[in-house]
Amino acid sequence: MSVLEIDHPGEEAMLLAYATGGATDVTLSVKSYTWDGLCSRLMTPRVGNKDGSYYIRGGSLKANRRSDENLLDCELLILDGDSTFDPQTGEIASGAPPLPDVAEILKGLNITFCAHTSHSARTKDNFWKYRIVIPAKIRSQAELSDCVDFLLAQLHGAGVYLADVIEAKKWSQPWFLPRVRTEEDKEHFVAIRNDALPFDVSAALDWAEGRRQAEAAIHKETTKPADHKPSETFQAFNDSVSLEAVRETLERAGYKFGYFDRRQQTYRYMRPGSESKTCGVVIFKGSQGHWCTYSHHGSADPLSNRVCDPFDLITTLEYNGDRKAAASALIPRPKEQSIVEQLSARQQIGEARPVTDASEAEPFIVNEPKKNTTEQKKTKRIELIPWDGLKDEPVQWLVKDILPAASFAAIYGKPGSGKSFLALHLGAMIASGRSVFGKDVTPGDVVYVAGEGGAGLKRRRDAIIYQHGLEETLPMHFVRAQLNLSTNLEDMEALFAAIREKAVSPSVIFFDTFARIFIGDENSAKDVGACIAILGAVQAEFNCCVVIIHHSAKHNDASMRGSSALLGAVDTELHCERIGSKASKDRIGSMTITKQKDGEDQMQFGFRMELVQLSDINPDVTSLAICEINKDELKKEIKNNIQLPKLISNEIDALKALRLAIKESGIPVPASPDWVAPGTIVATGRSFMNFFKKTSGIEESGKRSDSLQRAKDSLKLKKLIANHEDYWYFLDQSLYNAITSQLELA
């Protein structure tokens, strides 16, 4: 039997009614207890069946029969530890959170209590059932309900998800005195006592009144007439903001997610620095279908006591209530200059270096000195270089063979492929000057714009420091915000100002993810081109490498999502993919260079995402860190995790030939084809045949043609390659990479 006692309180008596004949016995007797005496009884279990002597929460009776009407007031607030719930879904499961965890929270709240496990508990199997008894003078069932809700809200705010049960709020609920099944079970009985401050009933009632006001305001908003709408402009903006975006806005401002209220279909958050330690901010769906917020945290919360639609929420938390500034940044203005026109105008007044048209495939430009705005605009001069006047300009590498300096690169892959962790790893290695995948690095300052995953950024950084033994201080800086780098220049200018303010000279700037800096239609070359132009201006401003982290196409992991203008613009494209299922504990991944403008492509590197424990106290404080693996280990993992089809010699020769044809003379498909993802590189049938002659070694034309045709037919049946008219391409880049690694295709 486990018993924990702390200093005893005073000996003020309380009246409690009890019965000895079991649950069906409604005849009550009244006895006077001191808190010390009651705790002594509750912490001493007897052996027997569950049904037996019981007590109710008070002893001031109109009559000696158990009923709500006969109990005049109560002496005890009792939490029934019966079940828990999932904070993400609200699903309830039998068995309460561990009693020691709940007790620690209550001790932290300085609450007097006595807790004990109940007859149904199986603590040795970690199945918890218990009662938590708290002395409190409560005058009515309504007050009792408010006090229980307040206590549960404090537990939920601390991350302990004890479920609300009706017994805790029933005025004359009978509570069995503690029993265990056998003498042996006494060893597993747990009792914990804490003597601190009296429970603050008035604080609980004040909190409950604030919650009722919040519920009334939410009800009013959700039942508002459908014709009561904001202006068309704000309506359109609010329509575009998802639940995830509203939650991310709160989390960026420091609000902590509590739980999903399944009964109300709402999400609850706790404001930064909450004194009540309760989740008083509610996300709910308003009458117009928008995700709105309401807070009853009090005046310290800028969201308090009013309904905020998505625009109001962002205005309050990110623009300090300035609706004009928020509207300017968030709501597109009609008939504005295009991004290219704005950048050109900016260049002409000497605020930026020249940029190219966004529709061109390569928007990045060589630095030119800034012009003096006081000088008269000069006629542009163009130099003609003679045939014999060209000079060799060797590639300058930020990461040898992987990232060229002053270039535009993309890291892309499916969700869960590890692309953000890989980008953070690359940035940390560049900042520390360490090699990456065995490749030399040119050290330099790094800026990482984390528009996604910002809540876990510190843990990711700590995991890299721990895993790789990095210094606590590195020339790597973070921007934890979503930027608009596609429809105006305001956020670009703000980014420039932030970098200059810290006197940072970045060698590389990462944008995680492209979707977080882009507003518009990803399939539109015009919209994507505007973002490319701004990224070009960023690259030109600091003469640095710009890296975007992007998602792969929905139906084709081997290409980036959206317009092929992006593939045409990047100098380097790095494909990140996970090897094996997401359920695999190994977390093995690969990074393949699928495009390298000034170097070798199709180079493949392997990594493992290691789980790093960051706290000696809390086992849940973890993150992942990239650990590089060698080629042999990668090949082994691919062989173990990816089921490869059996291949015969002419099929292998054909795969080699198609790979060479695409690499040496491949052409990108036109924009938005209906038979393959935009940007896919294909080979003509003639080129395919020419390279098959080299890989197969078959000299006789007829035999070579027959062999290639048989290989084409069988590889199409195995869903490795496909064709559209006379254009040939790989269907599954991941499977092809696996075959390449296993067979070492040249």
Per-residue pLDDT for 641 more than 80?
Answer: no
What DSSP line would sit under 424-450, residue for residue? HHHHHHHHHT--BTTB-B---EEEEEE
Cα–Cα distance between 238 and 240 in angstroms, integer? 5
Q: Which residue has the tokens 């045949």?
A: 689
The backbone torsions φ and ψ at residue 55, rounded to the nearest 5 degrees and listed phi first, read -135, 160
* Pairing state between β 572-579 and 408-413: parallel
Per-residue pLDDT for 368 more than 90?
Answer: no
Under 8 Å CB-to-CB from 185, ≥6 apart: which residues?
A: 47
- Please report which confidence band the pLDDT of residue 444 belongs to, taking 50, 70 and 90 as the band edges: very high
* Pairing state between β 408-413 and 445-450: unpaired
Q: What is the mean pLDDT of the chain?
A: 85
When comparing pLDDT for 341 and 68, which is higher?
Answer: 68
How open is the CA angle 212-215-221, to the nearest 5 degrees? 145
Q: Which domains does the chain have, with CATH numbers?
A: 2-199 (no CATH), 205-225+235-330 (no CATH), 397-641 (3.40.50.300), 649-743 (1.10.10.10)
Q: Which of 147-161, 285-299, 617-631, 641-655 has the highest mean pLDDT?
A: 147-161
- Please report which confidence band the pLDDT of residue 731 belongs to, taking 50, 70 and 90 as the band edges: confident
Token couple for 352: 């930026």
What's the pLDDT tens digit per position in 659-673?
888 878 888 776 666
> What number is the average pLDDT over the span 582-601?
81
Least confident of 6-10, 158-162, 346-350, 441-445: 6-10
> What number is the average pLDDT over the span 176-194?
93
User: What region does 711 belong to: left with phi over 0, alpha with psi -120 to 50, or beta?
Assistant: alpha
> What number is the average pLDDT over the span 507-525?
90
Q: Where are the beta strands (DSSP E) in 70-129?
A: 74-81, 83-85, 92-94, 113-117
Cα–Cα distance between 534 and 485 in angstroms, integer? 6
What DSSP line would sit under 684-728, residue for residue? EHHHHHHHHHHHH---SHHHHHHHHHHHHHHHHHTTSEEEETTEE
How open is the CA angle 519-520-522, to the nearest 5 degrees? 110
Question: Given this model, what pLDDT does residue 371 score?
Answer: 44
> What number is the average pLDDT over the span 146-151?
94
Amino acid at 675: W
Per-residue pLDDT for 172 more than 60?
Answer: yes
Question: Given this model, what pLDDT does residue 243 score?
Answer: 93
Question: Given this model, what pLDDT does residue 638 score?
Answer: 73
Least confident of 192-206, 435-449, 618-632: 618-632
β-bridge mates for residue 404, sequence order? 397
* Pairing state between β 622-629 and 681-684: unpaired
- Please report which confidence band the pLDDT of residue 221 belongs to, taking 50, 70 and 90 as the band edges: confident
Cα–Cα distance between 503 and 101 in angstroms, integer? 47
What DSSP line would sit under 517-577, residue for residue? H--S-TT-HHHHHHHHHHHHHHHHHHT-EEEEEEEEETTEEEEESS-THHHHH-SEEEEEE
Question: Given this model, what pLDDT does residue 355 score?
Answer: 41
> What number is the average pLDDT over the span 102-122?
94
- State the CB neighbour count (10 A cutoff) for residue 264: 13
When comparing pLDDT for 130 and 51, which is higher?
Answer: 130
What's the pLDDT tens digit per position in 332-346?
766 667 777 777 777
Question: Given this model, what pLDDT does residue 132 score?
Answer: 96
When comparing pLDDT for 599 and 67, which is higher?
Answer: 67
Write the CA distances from 483 to 323, 330, 495, 519, integer angstroms.
Answer: 18, 10, 9, 10
Question: Given this model, what pLDDT does residue 646 score?
Answer: 81
Question: Given this model, what pLDDT does residue 744 score?
Answer: 53
Q: Which among 66, 45, 56, 24 has a CA at the least distance from the CA of 120?
A: 45
Per-residue pLDDT for 115 more than 80?
Answer: yes
- Please report which confidence band the pLDDT of residue 452 belongs to, taking 50, 70 and 90 as the band edges: low
Question: Given this model, what pLDDT does residue 287 score?
Answer: 83
What's the pLDDT tens digit per position in 493-508?
999 999 999 999 999 9
What's the pLDDT tens digit per position in 698-722?
888 889 999 999 999 988 888 888 8
Cα–Cα distance between 721 and 123 in angstroms, integer? 58
> What number is the average pLDDT over the span 184-209?
93
> What number is the average pLDDT over the span 597-619?
86
Taken in order 341, 342, 344, 348, the sign of the CA dihedral is positive
- Please report which confidence band the pLDDT of residue 745 belongs to, taking 50, 70 and 90 as the band edges: very low
Question: Given this model, what pLDDT does residue 73 score?
Answer: 93
84 preceded by cis ω (within 30°)? Answer: no
